Chain A
């Protein structure tokens, strides 16, 4: 039997900005259907990994493959059509457009699709508050609602892989919970997720396994249970 092709294959990845290298020899592999997290302190380079996958970091060296496709040879605007949706750090909505317009723009590269209304319906089911606010300008939503719109917009693409960069940062605990419940549902629906979180407890709660990133290097990896039990992780990130 041929071994299954990994969904995402990152090998010996080095990346940085200008002359400064931020990521050193990163190895990350994901199979289809997995829910994986990357945890680590501030400036460890977590966002840079996601940005490298989305080709938003100009300088990359090493292997970067998605379903066998060499991402390094692609440009940023090719990425969504390959089936990778990225929810960047911070609440990036189009402020002067309605919630519906924001969602519609998510399916921007899915030109031929006729089922956009159904896709939107599914997002409204996932985040009922976006349905209530569908006609409201996204810039006037609360922080949590904006983040729901940003995630919903990414889902409009019906991606194979969803990249989430600190989606719960700065949100009220109740909204964070709502958000993570939604991620579990999205994952159950068949979307693979790569989640970046500073809230390590939460990340290990929802993801099946994780990578620990320190100063641009993967220092530890394992199942969530293993990482949860690891004394170093507990001391550094869980404050126990």
Chain B
């Protein structure tokens, strides 16, 4: 009960925030990106948290999503709302193609293999000029503003779309985590040998998870394209600013929990933006350094993620309750 009240309050606050921000201002952009990255980290959380496979290749699905809807819009005038589903289908297919050979790999090997796949996707996007426009990038064409065309005068609607996306991805994550599939994944995570002998098809469950994660990430790539308006292969398929960042957000926030990626995004994205802002004029690289130091401190302080702050708080409150 208390939990539901908390969820409703948080959603209401999130809905109120865009109302007090400048409708097309800097902070609206930060807020929207934070929500999008939270949703992406949540989609990553399926494979990274529930299936316990550290993917560093999610930029592949993200980039495919951004490019698919934008190319469909450019070449055929198809609304990104529809393009988003084509993006999801291709993202799921790409996840299957990547997961089949890599899913048996454990730990670092899986991480490295997915990182390599992400890089391959980036190279392909750079080289396949006739389709993607190559290194020059793509601009989302201007269409008269309307909801059906997914085109708006202000950033404000994007913030709400990102919020809805985050809620949907989080609900999907939670439904999977609590359902039969979540149980299977948990059994595999806790003891792979035992999971095998009780008849869990470990490969199949992990593939299903990877595909769902790929579909969602690609659809979020479409949303990103609509916000960014312009992107090139090196941004949409970036290992550092997409793949690793998304994994980092989930890890800093708390892997395998629904709250973790949201906390992680609201911690990392604004700080990163602020750092870039404060130090970009002075010494280049200084912001990166400070950001890195902050990350190290947080990881040392909360190795299992920022979510553990809540556990500690709850324990303390209960302790106090017991005393009085």
Q: Does B186 contact A (CB under 8 A)?
A: yes
Q: How far is the CB of B139 from chain A (nearest CB, A)?
A: 49
> Which of A79, A88, A105, A109 has the most C-beta atoms of chain B within 10 angstroms of its own C-beta?
A105
- Asked if B190 and A94 make an inter-chain contact with CB atoms under 8 angstroms apart, the answer reads yes
Q: Which of these, B194, B199, B201, contacts A150 with CB under 8 Å?
A: B194
- A-B CB contacts (within 8 Å), total count: 59
Q: Does A81 contact B (CB under 8 A)?
A: yes
What's the Cα separation between A95 and B202 when bound, in Å?
18
Interface residues on B, range: 10 to 19
- Asked if B199 and A109 make an inter-chain contact with CB atoms under 8 angstroms apart, the answer reads yes
* Residues on the B chain within 8 Å of A88, using CB: 193-194, 197
Q: Does A77 contact B (CB under 8 A)?
A: yes
Residue-by-residue, is B193-227 near A (CB-CB < 8 Å gives 1, otherwise 0)? 11011111110100000000000000000000000
Within 8 A of B (CB), among A85-132: 85-88, 90, 92-97, 105-106, 108-109
Within 8 A of A (CB), among B241-284: none
Given A97-B186, A105-B183, also A81-B191 (CB < 8 A): no
* Residues on the B chain within 8 Å of A109, using CB: 198-199
- Asked if B201 and A77 make an inter-chain contact with CB atoms under 8 angstroms apart, the answer reads yes
Q: Does B30 contact A (CB under 8 A)?
A: no
Q: Does A76 contact B (CB under 8 A)?
A: yes
Q: How far is the CB of A7 from chain B (nearest CB, A)?
A: 19
Q: Does A46 contact B (CB under 8 A)?
A: no
* Residues on the A chain within 8 Å of B72, using CB: none
Interface residues on A, range: 20 to 34
- Asked if A77 and B194 make an inter-chain contact with CB atoms under 8 angstroms apart, the answer reads no
What's the Cα separation between A45 and B241 when bound, in Å?
50
- Asked if B190 and A96 make an inter-chain contact with CB atoms under 8 angstroms apart, the answer reads yes
Given A88-B193, A88-B194, A150-B194, also A94-B199 (CB < 8 A): no
Residue-by-residue, is A32-62 near B (CB-CB < 8 Å gives 1, otherwise 0)? 0000000000000000000000101000000
- Asked if B199 and A80 make an inter-chain contact with CB atoms under 8 angstroms apart, the answer reads yes
Q: Does B187 contact A (CB under 8 A)?
A: yes
Q: Does A160 contact B (CB under 8 A)?
A: no
* Residues on the A chain within 8 Å of B198, using CB: 80, 105-106, 108-109, 153, 157
* Residues on the A chain within 8 Å of B196, using CB: 56, 76-77
Q: How far is the CB of B314 from chain A (nearest CB, A)?
A: 19
* Residues on the A chain within 8 Å of B183, using CB: 105
What's the Cα separation between A71 and B75 when bound, in Å?
53
What's the Cα separation between A94 and B199 when bound, in Å?
14
Q: Which of these, A75, A85, A105, A157, contacts B187 with CB under 8 Å?
A: A105
> Residues on B close to A: CB < 8 A?
183, 186-187, 190-191, 193-194, 196-202, 204
Q: Give me 8 A-to-B residue pairs in the complex whose CB atoms sit less than 8 angstroms apart, sorted by A's number.
A: A77-B201, A80-B197, A85-B197, A92-B197, A94-B191, A96-B186, A97-B186, A105-B183
